[in-house]
């Protein structure tokens, strides 16, 4: 099969389309014929030598990516919930070796959910790592409830645009930060207030916040403590809750924690139900073919993508 193999850290030129052996499903696994994948910032960081690069290099060939959508080609021993021909999507083997940049992918059957009727494989592939992150942070870690106020930074991005919709479905009041060009878009998704991070200090416009979702880190994480109500929670998905943020949060009787998304079939099923009901919709800001992997990486690397970047195989 064709796959993008990473032999060294570096720029987009290190992503080499190569012939590799097609995997076989082990017991408990599914072999998926991959039809669409999405790209995430963690892919870029890993390609450049950060994130999970060293760990992945221990078991070559290194094939990046975790977000997949496609059709079941075969199932391993013991798999009863899926059969050949089923349309599935998921974030697979995260934070291990997902090997999504390939024509075929194997992963535990428990990492997938069925793609709802009427949802394309591109839409499904987009609603994976980013959507799972938003779901797990808001629902599981943050315990967001109806009537609470949530501040979502970078609200028009991959994680952010899903988080706005999920928080709205929970019944929370949603405040987002984004560039002015994305304000109307975010209001359509369900944000009640949008703050221009280029020109405004969110600390002056947001207050009494129950939960902050931080995909930015740095000063944004630290300054977010200023808008939390007593007992409020900051959850960072980029390590923003390390010292001195964690120490300052404790001093103020706030909770600040870092969170890394985990593969979860049950959570994927929750997302599938939201997709099917029309309560969650992926924004695909850019579409590429599988041959355009370098261009897809370059787009994500700009840091200014509305929604998700998706490639079709």
Shared-domain flag, residues 57 and 110: yes
Whether 138 and 109 map to the same domain: the answer is: no
Structural domains counted in the chain: 2
Do both 6 and 123 map to the same domain? yes
CATH number, domain of 27, equals: 3.90.180.10
pLDDT at 157: 97
Assess if residue 65 is contained within a domain.
Answer: yes
In a domain, 67, yes or no: yes
Is residue 270 included in any domain, yes or no? no
User: Are residue 101 and residue 205 in the same domain, yes or no?
Assistant: no
pLDDT band (50, 70, 90) for residue 295: very high
Residues 306 and 195 in one domain: no
Residue 119's pLDDT is what? 98
In a domain, 301, yes or no: yes
The interaxial angle of helices 158-170 and 265-277, nearest 10 deg, is 70
Tell me what pLDDT residue 287 has: 98
Does some domain include residue 275? no
Residue 286 tokens, joined: 């850019």
- What pLDDT, on a 0 to 100 scale, did the predictor assign at position 3? 98
Q: How many CB atoms lie within 10 A of CB 33?
A: 16
Place of tokens 């720029």: 11
Residue 135 lies in a domain: yes
Helix or strand holding residue 216 (H, E) = none
CATH number at residue 149: 3.40.50.720
Residue 208: DSSP 8-state: S
Indicate whether 265 belongs to any domain: no
pLDDT tier at 149 (50, 70, 90 boundaries)? Answer: very high
pLDDT by residue (tens digit) across 108-126?
999 999 999 999 999 999 9
- How far apart CA 265 and CA 229 sit, in angstroms, is 34
Verify that 214 and 146 share a domain, yes or no: yes
Structural domain for 86, as ranges: 2-127+283-312
Residue 36 confidence (pLDDT): 98
Q: In the structure, what pLDDT confidence band is assigned to residue 211 with cuts at 50, 70 and 90?
A: very high
Q: Is 276 part of a structural domain of the chain?
A: no
């Amino acid at each position: 099969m064709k796959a993008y193999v990473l032999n060294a850290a570096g720029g987009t030129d290190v992503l080499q389309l190569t012939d590799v052996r097609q995997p076989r499903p082990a017991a408990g696994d599914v072999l998926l014929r991959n039809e669409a994948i999405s790209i995430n910032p963690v892919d870029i960081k890993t390609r450049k030598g950060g994130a999970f690069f060293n760990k992945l290099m221990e078991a070559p060939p290194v094939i990046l990516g975790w977000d997949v959508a496609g059709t079941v080609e075969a199932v391993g021993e013991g798999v009863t919930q899926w059969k050949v021909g089923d349309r599935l999507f998921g974030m697979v083997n995260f934070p291990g070796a997902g090997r999504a940049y390939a024509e075929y992918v194997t992963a535990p059957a428990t990492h997938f959910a069925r793609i709802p009727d009427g949802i394309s494989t591109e839409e499904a592939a987009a609603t994976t790592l980013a959507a799972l992150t938003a779901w797990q942070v808001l629902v599981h870690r943050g315990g967001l409830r109806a009537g609470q106020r949530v501040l979502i930074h970078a609200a028009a991005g991959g994680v952010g645009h899903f988080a706005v919709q999920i928080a709205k479905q929970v019944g929370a009041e949603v405040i987002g930060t984004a560039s002015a060009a994305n304000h109307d878009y975010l209001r359509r998704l369900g944000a009640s207030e949008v703050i221009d991070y280029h020109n405004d200090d969110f600390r002056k416009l947001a207050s009494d916040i129950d939960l902050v979702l931080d995909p930015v880190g740095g000063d944004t994480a630290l300054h977010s403590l200023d808008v939390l109500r007593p007992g409020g929670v900051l959850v960072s998905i980029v390590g923003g809750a390390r010292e001195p943020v964690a120490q300052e949060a404790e001093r103020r009787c706030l909770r600040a924690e870092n969170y890394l998304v985990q593969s979860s079939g049950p959570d994927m099923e929750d997302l599938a139900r939201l997709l099917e009901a029309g309560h969650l919709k992926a924004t695909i800001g850019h579409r590429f073919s599988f041959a355009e992997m370098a261009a897809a990486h370059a787009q994500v690397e700009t840091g200014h993508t509305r929604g998700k970047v998706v490639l079709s195989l």
